[in-house]
Structure 1
Amino acid sequence: MAELNHKHHTLIQALLSRGPLKEKDFHLMFTDLTGKPAGGNQGKFNEYLLKINKQLSYVQFELRACRNQYDGDVYYGVVNSVADEQAKFGTKFSNPQIVYFKAIIEAIVQDASGQGSISNIDALNIRLEDQIGQDSRSSDSQVPAAFKQFTMSQKEKTLDDLVQNQWLCFTGDRRIGLGVRSFLDLRSWFRNMSIPSCDVCNEAGIKAESCPNGRCSVRIHDYCLRKKFSTKKAAMVCPSCETAWPVVETRDEEVGEEIGHVDPPRSSRKKLRTCKAESVNNFEAGPSQLSQPVTRRVTRSSQHLR
């Protein structure tokens, strides 16, 4: 990385050691290092990140930003750009844990209601045997013992580890949702799973509002609704079927429009935090993805591992 100086290295090391950072924290660090405000100098800021990504690409990593769909906050993080799931998860989690995590995230993203979460009970009731060998030729004898013997306590420990590592999170209503790292890392996988996109930002509508017209498939994130209906001229109707959309209260601090701001949530069972996530990046070089979608058959679930 001959082209990078110690300031670039400091940013990279901070993201690697602390995990995803919220936009305001990442911007503050950028300002402290460069002496230039990130918000008032977007071109310089993006140029700085592009330079970092050019070098990170040689080792198949990428600095990326995402938006947390649960609260609209933006986060920055360094992700593995290799699509191979063993490269992503193999050093940290066992094969049964990876399969369990994949079953959880599939259950979350396939929720037709757009809640973007599942209950803790549903997550614990997932059977790993149902996640492999789905084809008719497979038999129970072909299921690895480690999968059949994956106990309830192991599931609870795995959930705690996934939340601690920001792959999953606990939502405000004590359900399990996607963590910031999942939003950062799995953007392409979401697309491959054919998850309905938000009609405003075109990102996967995992946690999003559905059109009041049950026959319409439009989904829009809460923060995108606030942005869309923030002006008096905007008609509060579905952009597709023109059904009246419930009034959305706007906040003084609207969710940032820039791509690339992120803050890392640190969740744990005892100290619940609202999940954050959804990718929104100006400088994104190429999102990574899981090599294969999880099997369609998912009992109840809850989320993801690296």
Structure 2
Amino acid sequence: MAPLSWRHHTLLQSLLHRGPLSERDFHAIFAGVSGKNPATHQQLFNDTLLKINKDLAYLQFELRACINQYDGMVYYGVVNNIADEESKLGTKYSVPQIAFYKGLLEAIVQEAGNDGSITSIDALNVRLDNQVAVLDGSQDSQSRLPSSIKNFSMSQKEKTLDELIRDRWLSYTATGKIGLGTRSFLDLRSWFRGNDIPSCVVCNEACIKASSCPNEGCDVRIHEYCLKKKFSQRKASRACPSCGTGWPCQDGEGEADEVNEPGEEDLASPANHPSRKKRSRVKAELVEENDIAGPSTEVPRTRRTLRSAKAEAVEADQEASSTAASQPGRGSKRRKK
């Protein structure tokens, strides 16, 4: 097998040096080193990643893509496929910091509202001793906790939380809460599956932030971006794929499809006719003028105003009759009156 070229090395180095990159940024780097746009040369792009992963497999690494479930964007990164004790020694985090992250991870994925996030207060109140107790399992495990776990202060939690967000293991959501970061979505795919995290019925990936079926007896969950894809067409049935319950629209969904799209019948309707709109506007202006002026004895002036309003309406009818053959003669009928 041919060795990796400088182009492959550049792609790998960009991910290792910068960390996970958005699809747009990674595509831009690929276009710069290959001279090809991944959008129009998808096969070349896929072959390049396959070539890289074949060589990385020897080192138990993988170039992987994931979707950030909070913004629906695709990211690329290099991950370690093994999780033994030797690999854990390579992290810069201490034992209590790792235990704190595990506690945060469990609190986020078990969040009852399917929002995939917790408040900062809840994050700082995560107990580290629970993580050690789960690993130990003995009855006196609480009395044998390491001092680093017992003495892990609130200020140390705050500092660790900032580091985890900066390193993109965690993130701030749009609502200001604490959620998983891009690195977690990249690295923890096998962990999600091994811990029975519910999967999306559309993409089969773990549901951290997702929507649940409105039927309380149904456990189907779908990512918000998968919902938009599944129900993007107007004629698509908005029904749960499991129980058939109608799935409610998300905020803002479908509004753009229903606005400013009149049919042919609406365009031909007298209510939407240009002359009818103009007459309504003229009458409204006349009423407003009379309300402002109040009662008046100048009857001739009022009559002149009415006549001018009628004349404008007649002109509007004449203009409309030239483009709307379905309503001929309206102007002449108005003049007879």
Same fold (TM over 0.5): yes
The runs of 4+ residues in structure 1 deviating greater than 3 Å are none
Report the equivalent of 2:4: 4
54-63 vs 78-87, which deviates more? 78-87
1:83 to partner: Cα distance: 2.1
Rounded to whole Å, the distance in 2 between the matches of 1:89 and 1:244 is 50
Aligned amino acid, residue 227 of structure 1: K
Which of these two proteins has the greater Rg computed from alpha carbons?
Answer: 2
Question: Conserved in 1, the CA contact under 8 Å of 2:103 and 2:127?
Answer: no
1:164-243 maps to which residues of 2 (within 5 A)? Answer: 164-243=166-245
1:1-306 maps to which residues of 2 (within 5 A)? Answer: 3-84=3-84, 87-88=87-88, 90-134=90-134, 135-248=137-250, 249=253
Question: Conserved in 1, the CA contact under 8 Å of 2:68 and 2:74?
Answer: yes
Question: Conserved in 2, the CA contact under 8 Å of 1:89 and 1:98?
Answer: no
Q: Structure 1 residues 95, 86: closer, same or farther in 2, change over 3 A?
A: farther
Using CA pairs under 8 Å that are at least 6 residues apart, name the structure with larger relative contact order, 1 or 2: 1
1:243 to partner: Cα distance: 1.1
Question: Conserved in 2, the CA contact under 8 Å of 1:22 and 1:75?
Answer: yes
Q: What is the root-mean-square deviation of aligned Cα atoms in Å?
A: 1.8
Report the equivalent of 1:258: none
Considering fraction of residues, name the structure with more helix.
2
- 1:122-166 CA-partner distances (Å, limit 9, x unpaired): 110112122212435224321111000000011001010000000
1:90 to partner: Cα distance: 4.1
SS at 2:133 equivalent: coil
1:86 to partner: Cα distance: 5.3
Report the equivalent of 1:263: none
- 1:80-116 CA-partner distances (Å, limit 9, x unpaired): 1112265146431001100110111111111232110
Question: Conserved in 2, the CA contact under 8 Å of 1:20 and 1:78?
Answer: yes
- 1:35-82 CA-partner distances (Å, limit 9, x unpaired): 111011111111000101111122221100000001110000011111
Aligned amino acid, residue 243 of structure 2: C
Q: TM-score, normalised by structure 1?
A: 0.79
Rounded to whole Å, the distance in 2 between the matches of 1:200 and 1:189 is 20
Give the count of matched residue pairs.
252
User: What stretches of structure 2 of length at least 5 have no aligned partner?
Assistant: 257-337
Rounded to whole Å, the distance in 1 between the matches of 2:200 and 2:168 is 23
SS at 1:133 equivalent: helix
User: What stretches of structure 1 of length at least 5 have no aligned partner?
Assistant: 253-306
Identical counterparts, % of pairs: 60
Rounded to whole Å, the distance in 1 between the matches of 2:74 and 2:116 is 17
Question: Conserved in 1, the CA contact under 8 Å of 2:66 and 2:186?
Answer: yes
Rounded to whole Å, the distance in 1 between the matches of 2:90 and 2:77 is 20
